[in-house]
Amino acid sequence: MGRRVSTYLNFEGNCEEAFNFYAQAFSVDFSDPIVRFDDMTFPEGSPALDSHEANLVMHTQLEIVPGHLLHGTDMLRSMGHELRVGNNTTISVDFDNKEDLDSVFSALAPDSTERVDPIPQMWGAYWAVLLDRYKIRWMFNAPFGN
């Protein structure tokens, strides 16, 4: 597959509405079914979600132009998420392996904030995120086994 760059957008409960709008605007269909928070299995001890939050979007995507995916999620207040300028748009980079992810993450990490070091996630990816020294938010994904 090689490296792929996409855009990841965060919303305050209206991700599905926004993505239906974007699908219509770009005349495209959803790449995959919408994954809702209720579809996920959270680690033991995670806060319980009320019925409204459980129905919100955990992940969705549209290929808005050939080769460029627009991803989206709703942020959950019950998990301490707060939408603000600086975390509403993210550059997401997919890697073929963990070593390449670790290398780029380490290069961007000095003086970064809002950082989650690379770790395996419940959705099957090796994942990390940071806000770099220039206040640009980056998200990284690689397969677990590579």
Q: Is 87 a residue whose pLDDT tops 60?
A: yes
Mean pLDDT across the stretch 138-145?
88
Report the top-level CATH class of 4-143.
alpha beta
The domains of the chain are located at 4-143
Tell me the pLDDT tens digit for each residue of 20-71: 999 998 899 998 999 999 998 877 887 778 899 999 999 999 998 888 899 9
The rounded distance, in Å, linking the Cα atoms of 1 and 145 is 15
Mean pLDDT across the stretch 82-101?
85
The rounded distance, in Å, linking the Cα atoms of 105 and 9 is 20
Mean pLDDT across the stretch 9-18?
92
Task: Give residues with Cβ within 8 angstroms of 11, minimum separation 6.
Answer: 18, 57, 72, 73, 74, 75, 83, 88
Single pTM value for the model: 0.72
Residue at 54: amino acid letter = A
pLDDT at 119: 94
